[in-house]
């Protein structure tokens, strides 16, 4: 994974024992001095999400995937704040995003089973859970979550507009390419979806906008 810079520190994560456990190094960005080093009980499946002084990590294990929050700055740097199990198909690592809502922050987690969950970032408690797919394959499970006009934009075989405070689906775009490869959010409620390397489709929420090949 790429190093993560925050404040005057650099966070480096990787596998200490590939397939079994991970390791987190926190370095002083100016001197390179190791501030702390922590081993995780399972492999780190994706680049951590760092918000304020906390890193949120998706851990992958044959015993089951977990989501862990770790303090990475301050007096208790290197300590685990909480750890909760995740129901996944253990194919793709969960996609994480932190969203601000009128009801407080939500740590939003999208899994490879088509589940979308809003967690409390303080203790990992589930606030809401939404099923994105009634069945079938999650085509875009590896794409990042996006925000649009105060809502959460989630790509699957459709593009869903989700209220991050409640998990309720507000709107969806259904006429997407069969095998979408990327998702770009623009101003004015415009969405660009790529199919392969040479095909782009533009949508405006509420209807089809344009097509570019």
By the 8 A CB rule, do 33 and 27 touch? yes
Q: What is the pLDDT of residues 26-80, one digit of tens each?
A: 999 999 999 999 999 888 888 899 998 999 999 888 777 899 999 998 889 999 9
Find the CATH number of the domain harbouring 35: 2.40.10.480
- Whether 31 is covered by a domain: the verdict is yes
Q: Which domain holds residue 43?
A: 1-86
- Whether 77 is covered by a domain: the verdict is yes
pLDDT band at 137 (very low <50, low <70, confident <90, very high): very low
- Whether 213 is covered by a domain: the verdict is no
- Whether 94 is covered by a domain: the verdict is no
How many domains would you assign to the chain? 1
- Whether 201 is covered by a domain: the verdict is no
- Whether 76 is covered by a domain: the verdict is yes
pLDDT band at 210 (very low <50, low <70, confident <90, very high): very low
- Whether 168 is covered by a domain: the verdict is no
DSSP assignment of 10-50: EEEEEEEETTTEEEEEEEETTT--EEEEEEESSEE-SPPEE
Q: pTM for this one?
A: 0.73
Burial of 50 (0-12, 13-18, 19+ CB in 10 A): buried
pLDDT at 106 over 80: yes
pLDDT band at 145 (very low <50, low <70, confident <90, very high): low
- Whether 143 is covered by a domain: the verdict is no
Question: Cα–Cα distance between 21 and 173 in angstroms, integer?
Answer: 40
Residue closest to 180 by CA, chosen among 164, 196, 198, 162: 196
């Amino acid at each position: 994974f790429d190093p993560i810079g925050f404040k005057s520190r650099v966070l480096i994560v990787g596998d200490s024992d590939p397939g079994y456990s991970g390791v987190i190094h926190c370095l002083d960005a100016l001197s390179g001095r190791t501030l702390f080093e922590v081993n995780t009980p399972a492999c780190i499946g994706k680049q951590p999400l760092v918000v304020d002084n906390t890193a949120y990590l998706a851990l992958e294990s044959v015993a089951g995937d977990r989501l862990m929050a770790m303090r990475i700055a301050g007096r208790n740097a290197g300590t685990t704040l909480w750890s909760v199990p995740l129901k996944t198909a253990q194919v793709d690592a969960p996609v994480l995003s932190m969203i601000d809502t009128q009801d407080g922050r939500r740590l939003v987690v999208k899994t490879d089973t088509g589940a979308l969950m809003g967690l409390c970032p303080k203790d990992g408690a589930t606030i809401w859970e939404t099923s994105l797919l009634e069945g079938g394959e999650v085509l875009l499970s590896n794409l990042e979550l996006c925000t649009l006009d105060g809502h959460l934009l989630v790509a699957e075989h459709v593009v869903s507009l989700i209220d991050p405070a409640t998990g309720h689906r507000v709107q969806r775009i259904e006429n997407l390419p069969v095998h979408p490869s990327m998702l770009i959010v623009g101003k004015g409620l415009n969405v660009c979806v790529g199919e392969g390397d040479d095909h782009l489709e533009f949508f405006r929420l509420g209807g089809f906008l344009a097509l570019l090949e």
